[in-house]
Amino acid sequence: MKLINTFIYTILRLSPKRIVKIFSKRYVAGFSFKETLDICKNLNNEGFALTLDILGEHTKTKQESAFITNQYKKLLTTINEEKINANISIKPSHIGHDLSIDFFEENLLTLIKKAQELSNFVRIDMESSQLTDDTIYIYKKLSKEYSNFGIVLQSYLFRTYDDIKSLDKSKLNFRLCKGIYKESADIAYQNKQKINESYLAILDYAISNQIYVGIATHDETLLKESYKIIKKHSADRKNFEFQGLYGVPLKKWYKKHFENDYKVRIYVPFGINWYEYSLRRIKENPSIAKYVIKNLFKR
């Protein structure tokens, strides 16, 4: 399966962008927020909270990062005006980390303050391991003063269990995911079972310590085990939510979450930089071959 996915992914990477665009539509809600707005309203009406992500990463100039920061500010205003139940998710490298950590901090602070003014929340996505130290450092620094933002932790990194213990339990709000970037065997588990064991150990720590956690996975085994952990600690539903990516099918589980009155948040990406994100999602689709063939014949 992994080989087929890698093979098809390689072919798509070599294909013209317009071919990849055909498949991106499943995972990307729109190219502009205006296009995405109806999807957001429909998802809210179905009971989902949202986190909105303007697609893109690794901006190369200060102007570009300042522009993206401004786009996010406008997005926060529109969320407020349109009464959308959504917060925002931001990649450090999208708002200037590659230029300097200070610039990333400055832009992030602008957004945290804007979100605070509008009673909203900012989630800092976690990128590759090259950014982990800086992301956690800035989180620790700013969380001394602001509480309306959170971080993401990845269970495939060996370091994560120690990281979570180093963070202030009373303030921490994090999303737990497996991790999507290619990391070396020196620092990250490569084996699915180990990644899952790590995921559940971190989740158990969070739930047993009443740390707010976004359980971000589509993996049935993890979802089943998460339910057991929630029950074992009689977790208060105010302290956790489930999270899924737009376009990934999880109907049966969403139904179950809603029946249990558990909060569910969908990560909704949009924007003109849809290419890298779409390829990552296509590669993770276990029915990639069927999916690609079906879409090619649909045209």
For residue 175, indicate whether it is catalytic.
yes
267 belongs to the binding site for ligand FDA (CB under 6 A):
yes
Q: Which residue's CB comes closest to ligand FDA?
A: 218
143 belongs to the binding site for ligand FDA (CB under 6 A):
no
State which of residues 97, 114, 178, 257 lies at the interface with ligand FDA (CB under 6 A).
Answer: 178
User: Do residues 24 and 240 touch, judged by C-beta distance below 8 A?
Assistant: no
Separation of alpha carbons 148 and 113, rounded Å? 9
Site for ligand FDA in 35-64 (CB under 6 A): none
Contact letters for ligand FDA, residues 109-138 (x by CB under 6 A): ----------------xx------------
53, 98, 125, 265: the catalytic one is 125
Q: How many CB atoms lie within 10 A of CB 32?
A: 10
Separation of alpha carbons 61 and 148, rounded Å? 27
Q: How far is CA 14 from CA 56, 58, 103, in A?
A: 20, 21, 34
**Residue placing its CB nearer to ligand FDA in the complex, 77 or 197:** 197
Place of tokens 């089943």: 224
Alpha helices in the chain (DSSP H): 2-14, 17-24, 33-45, 62-81, 101-117, 132-143, 160-166, 192-208, 220-232, 251-259, 275-284, 288-298
257 belongs to the binding site for ligand FDA (CB under 6 A):
no
Stretch that binds ligand FDA, among 102-110, 130-138, 163-171, 237-245 (CB under 6 A): 237-245
User: Do residues 290 and 18 touch, judged by C-beta distance below 8 A?
Assistant: no
Shortest separation between residue 213's beta carbon and ligand FDA, angstroms: 12
State which of residues 8, 177, 230, 264 lies at the interface with ligand FDA (CB under 6 A).
Answer: 177
User: Do residues 187 and 195 touch, judged by C-beta distance below 8 A?
Assistant: no
For residue 219, indicate whether it is catalytic.
no
Site for ligand FDA in 145-164 (CB under 6 A): 152, 154
245 belongs to the binding site for ligand FDA (CB under 6 A):
yes
Contact letters for ligand FDA, residues 203-222 (x by CB under 6 A): -------------xxxx---
Separation of alpha carbons 142 and 40, rounded Å? 29
Stretch that binds ligand FDA, among 2-10, 96-104, 113-121, 242-250 (CB under 6 A): 242-250
Place of tokens 């832009």: 107
**Residue placing its CB nearer to ligand FDA in the complex, 87 or 107:** 87
How many chain residues interact with ligand FDA (CB under 6 A)? Answer: 23
User: Do residues 230 and 240 touch, judged by C-beta distance below 8 A?
Assistant: yes
Q: Which two tokens stand for residue 28?
A: 């990307």
Residues engaged in binding ligand FDA (CB under 6 A): 125-126, 152, 154, 175, 177-181, 216-219, 243-245, 248, 267, 281, 284-286
- Residues marked active site are found at 125, 175
